Structure 1
């Protein structure tokens, strides 16, 4: 086999795997049709992260907030925070477990209360058109499940 043949075979295999993934491994959707990532392994790990410790440490919380709004350096958990904020904006935590719902609501309310200027920056960054802010507002206002 020559190089072109090997490359073509690799491309065909890659394309086939991608196609199968799109057909058979579609991500679960929420009632609103958004992709539901809240029941993934990623969010299972978030549930085990010590969020109350971060919320009780204003210096640590500020570092995470500044990471999320791109005003400071990010740890691996800070980068996860960016994904979480984006998902919350899109879905309002639709599909979250009870524990995750409670942890994220406490976090969002605390950030909103303690860092109002940064909160406005966060909203502008993750929802510049304003179309998803209602999801975040409803999420913050609803009672625990």
Structure 2
């Protein structure tokens, strides 16, 4: 359950660096091991790889309207986020509670998600 939330965290953070433009999100979504590891890192319940740590560090800044995103990153963020919000709302709430407890970033992020 919690493992898919890591995708949102991962993707939202990806917007900050072009080096993530070619990430294979489908592989991450299909890997329970990767998802579990990213989720533990982002929620401070387990160790972080260097990539997961960087993503976790940058996530709060990325969680907005994705104005720093490349077009490819915007597609990835929207795909993963929409899925998690719809299919895994409990896990999405855990991420929001940690990274946006007053929900100020979520307002902009939700606007971004609803754009076509």
**TM-score (ref. length: structure 2):** 0.70
Q: Report the number of matched residues.
A: 102
Q: Provide the residue aligned with 1:99 in structure 2.
A: 72
Higher relative contact order at CA 8 Å, sep ≥6: structure 1 or structure 2? 2
- Residue 84 of structure 1 and its aligned partner are, at CA, apart by 4.3
5+ residue gaps, structure 1: 1-37
SS of residue paired to 1:74: coil
CA separation of 1:78/1:47 partners in 2, compared to 1, >3 Å: closer, same or farther?
A: same
Q: Provide the residue aligned with 1:77 in structure 2.
A: 51
Taking only aligned residues, the RMSD between alpha carbons, in angstroms, comes to: 2.2
Contact kept in structure 2, 1:47 and 1:100, CA below 8 Å: yes
- C-alpha distance in 2 between matches for 1:102 and 1:65: 21
- C-alpha distance in 2 between matches for 1:123 and 1:109: 14
Which of 108, 112, 119 is the aligned partner of 2:92?
A: 119
1:67 maps onto 2:41 in alignment: yes
Contact kept in structure 1, 2:18 and 2:70, CA below 8 Å: no
**TM-superposition CA deviations, 1:36-71 (whole Å, max 9, x none):** xx5xxx611111332221022233223212321222
- Residue 99 of structure 1 and its aligned partner are, at CA, apart by 0.5
In terms of fraction of residues, the more helix-rich structure is 2
The list of structure 1 runs, each at least 4 consecutive aligned residues, that deviate by more than 4 angstroms after superposition, is none
